[in-house]
Chain A
């Protein structure tokens, strides 16, 4: 694969990888319970924790600089003829393995609709809800200004 592909060629996969990466390990264990167990797969790159250097930009949009590293755990598996990959922040190796297997299964078009419906969509909805609640709690602290009118009337 190369980076020269059209921007949305990978958009479905990017979306589910994002959802899987943000999921908790228990949620992925539950997912496999609902899917009838973890299928046979081989490990191409064993679960490994490393770091990614997080970059920022001066002023938000200027020169790049290194902000600091974050722990990231990676796993690459093969299930059937599909290669599944997981990269996500944190040090949870079991989660990385489960997410990589799900990524492989999701690339199988015969299995994708069921996994999308049973696993990805509910996880995505839950993640959106958490973000929405945080935003509404922040919105409750939004300042409403009143203009004070001086006068004798």
Chain B
């Protein structure tokens, strides 16, 4: 129960100033620019864009600056801003096969058409501090350039296996329906794949990572292979009402992950590899992989698998993946609950008093 409480206005205004001062930190240290955050904290910006569900690198940088680097607070700012904007419509589905690749690896095929391209990754670093970065000065590095660009055609690994018929097919349902939009309509269960993928794409990276890890450790029973991970730029096309044809809006950076899972087959389904899919804004590989593992575990119902574990239970996963909602509910406990608490306190005192009264009566009766 909430009861309007007046007062605290001056305190609130003072806390706005105090948090602004805390955000700025020591004024003898130069202030961060949002361009610096965008360029030099790009992976943090990617996380904020995903969980804020809005692709805009400059806004993500501003959100991180404004929230002192609190990723969930930053995602909240993105969500709040989004609600102030009109929506022009929906894009054509992005074509990740046509991605301008910067990284593309497969853990299932060594020699795949187009090759294994490591791209910008921390995978092969030693996780030792580079103290040179802590020293003053410019640390710009020019990466080497090969004489030739990558192959123009870089087929998706899942499509290669699909051609052999050994892979669960991924084809649009009849009529290629418009996807469900959880920002417009309430989610109902059982949830379809489009609902699940949208929820996972904007879900909390840590939550999905934990669920994916639980699946791998046996709380879900899938054994995934990273069929392919690719990172790069993909053009977004939009059919504007003024034009009547699809216009190229520019590029989004995307990370895509295709997980390949064993499946023994069922009564109507021959043994085959099944798929889990992850797609996220920016370079956000851990999230894309986690999403793909959880996407597959949520197919349990579809494949007639028993759903005994959290990662297989869609109500559990979909209702708890959103960190802005989760933070809102957990953190609302900070709001005044004076009256609720007073009520509980009164009740507890009353029960204690009644117990004491009963005990005293029993003692008197025993003495008589």
Q: Which residues of A does B touch, CB under 8 Å?
A: 1-3, 5, 10, 14, 17-18, 21-22, 45, 48-72, 74, 76, 83, 85, 87-91, 131-143, 145
Contacts and interface: CB of A to CB of B under 8 A. Distances in A.
Given A21-B247, A139-B148, A53 B90 contact: yes
A126 to B, nearest CB: 15
Among B147, B249, B252, the one with the most A-chain Cβ atoms within 10 Å of its Cβ is B249
Given A51-B85, A60-B156, A60-B170, 14 more contacts: A14-B248, A21-B250, A51-B87, A52-B89, A54-B55, A54-B236, A64-B176, A68-B281, A70-B91, A70-B249, A136-B147, A138-B117, A138-B119, A139-B146
A17 B148 contact: no
B65 to A, nearest CB: 16
A110 to B, nearest CB: 22
27 contacts: A17-B248, A22-B248, A52-B88, A53-B181, A59-B158, A59-B275, A60-B158, A61-B97, A62-B172, A63-B170, A64-B194, A65-B180, A66-B183, A66-B194, A68-B49, A69-B82, A72-B249, A76-B242, A85-B240, A87-B88, A87-B243, A89-B250, A139-B146, A139-B148, A143-B117, A143-B118, A145-B111
B229 to A, nearest CB: 13
Interface of B: 49-50, 53-56, 58-59, 82, 85-94, 96-97, 100-103, 110-111, 115-119, 143-150, 156, 158-159, 169-173, 176-183, 192-195, 197-198, 201-202, 233, 235-236, 238-240, 242-252, 256, 258, 275, 277, 279-281, 295
A2 B239 CA distance: 11
B265 to A, nearest CB: 19
Contacts of A132: 149
B158 A87 contact: no
A56 B197 contact: yes
A60 B256 contact: yes
A66 B192 CA distance: 12
Nearest to A54: B91
Contact of B117 (A22, A90, A142): A142
Contacts of A45: 242
B259 to A, nearest CB: 10
Given A60-B159, A70-B236, A71-B59, A131 B281 contact: no
B67 to A, nearest CB: 19
A63 B238 CA distance: 18
Nearest to B167: A59
